[in-house]
Amino acid sequence: MRQAGRSLPEYRALRQGVAMLDACMRADLIIEITLQPVRRYGVDAAILFSDIVLPLKALGFDLDIVPGVGPVIAEPITDSAAVAAIPTFDAARVDFVAEAVAGLVSELGSTPLIGFAGAPYTLASYLIEGGPSKEHAKTKALMHGAPDVWRALMERLAVISAEFLRVQVEAGAAAVQLFDSWAGGLSPHDYRTHVLPHSAAVFADIADLGVPRIHFGVATGELLADMSTAGVEVMGVDWRVPLDRAVDRVQPGQALQGNLDSTLVFAPWDVIESETLRVLEAGRLAPGHIFNLGHGVLPDTDPDVLARLVDFIHSQESPVEG
C-alpha cells in the first residue's frame, strides 16, 4: 500500500517539522517510515519510503516539495541547455538510500522490500511544468514541438530512474516498482511514440538484476497494453479497470497488482468486503495477483479499517498475496 504513512499517527509524529524531501534523504527516517505500515498491518511486502523527485533532488537539482502543492522546480526545463545541465547519476549522492535499504532488509526478515522510482515521463512533466499540472500542456508542447530536446531529456531521466532502482536492488530490494503518475493523461499514440521507449529503457537497464519489475500509472486503462510491453513481470492496475479486463490487455503470463478503490475504506464494512471479494475474484483470472489498493492510501483513512482489510485478505484461502 503506497502512501500508507499519510494515514498513520506514528508517521505524522515522525514527520513533525521534517520536510518531505528531508525525510526521504535520512536513512533512519526512511527505515522507520517504511517499517511503520508493515508493523501496523502485517502486509506481505514493504515499499520503500521515497518520492518520485527524490533522485533529482539528491543529484543536486534545485527543487522542493511544497506542502499542499507538490514538487516545485526552481528553473523549469525549456531547452537542450537545461537538459544538458541535469546532473548525471552518481550512486554516492543517494548512499542514504542504499544504507536505508540494507537496514530495512535486515529488519524485514522474510518480508520482501519493493524498491521505488518515478518513470521518465512523470519526472519530465515536473521538470517542464515547474510543478504539478492538470493538463501537462507545456510537457506535451515540448514533446511535439522539440522532439530532439524531448528525447534527450527522457534518455537522461531514464538513466537516472534505472540507476536509482539499481542502487536499491543492489542493496537488497527484492522487486522494483516504476511509477508513472501522469502517463494516463496521454493518448495511446503519444504514449507509444514518445514515452514507452524510455520506460522500456529503464526496465531493460535493470533486467540483469533479475528481480520482478512492477509498472503502474493512474488512469492508464487505454495504455495497459502498451505499458505491459515495457519489460515487466507485474502490471499495476488502478481501480477504474476491472482486473478481468486488465488481464486481456497485458502480456500473457504477467501478474496484476491492484485494485480496490482507495476511497472504499470510507464505506461500511460489508461494502468493503463485497468489493474486495469482487477484486479477488477478477484477479483469479490473472496468472498471479497481488492485492492492494488501486491508488495511494488517502490521508483520512482509518488505520483500523486497513488493518481489518489486510486480515480479511489473509483469511481468504485462494492463492493471492496481500
- The whole-angstrom separation of Cα 168 and Cα 113 is 9
Check: CB of residue 218 under 8 Å from CB of residue 238.
Answer: yes
The smaller minimum CB distance to its own copies, of residues 47 and 241, is found at 241
For 252, the 3-state DSSP assignment is coil
Stretch of 17-25, 59-67, 240-248, 284-292 lying at the interface with its own copies (CB under 8 A) = 240-248
Min dist CB 291 to its own copies, Å, is 15
Cα–Cα distances (Å) from 276 to 47, 98, 257, 267, 320, in that order, read: 21, 35, 13, 12, 12
By the rule CB under 8 A, 194 interacts with its own copies: no
CB of 196 to its own copies, least distance (A): 15
Residues in Cβ contact with 81 at an 8 Å cutoff, skipping those fewer than 6 apart: none
In the bound complex, what is the minimum distance in angstroms from residue 22's beta carbon to its own copies? 25
Q: Which is nearer to its own copies, 176 or 260 (CB)?
A: 260
**6 is annotated as an active-site residue:** yes
Dist CA 310 CA 292 (whole Å): 9
Quote the least distance from Cβ 89 to its own copies, whole Å: 30
Q: C-alpha cell of 321?
A: 498475496
DSSP per-residue string spanning 126-137: HHHHSS--SS-H
Closest CA relative to residue 265, chosen from 318, 316, 307:
307
136 binds its own copies (CB under 8 A): yes
Is residue 300 near its own copies by the rule CB under 8 A? yes
Measured CA to CA, the distance from residue 71 to residue 256 in angstroms comes to: 29
Footprint (CB under 8 A) of its own copies, residues 198-217:
none
Q: Give the one residue of 245, 273, 288, 314 binding its own copies; rule: CB under 8 A.
A: 245
Q: Is 132 in the site for its own copies (CB under 8 A)?
A: no
Contact residues toward its own copies (CB under 8 A) are 135-138, 140-141, 144-145, 184-190, 219, 221-222, 239-242, 245, 261-264, 266-268, 271, 275, 278, 298, 300
Catalytic site positions: 2, 6, 15, 51, 126
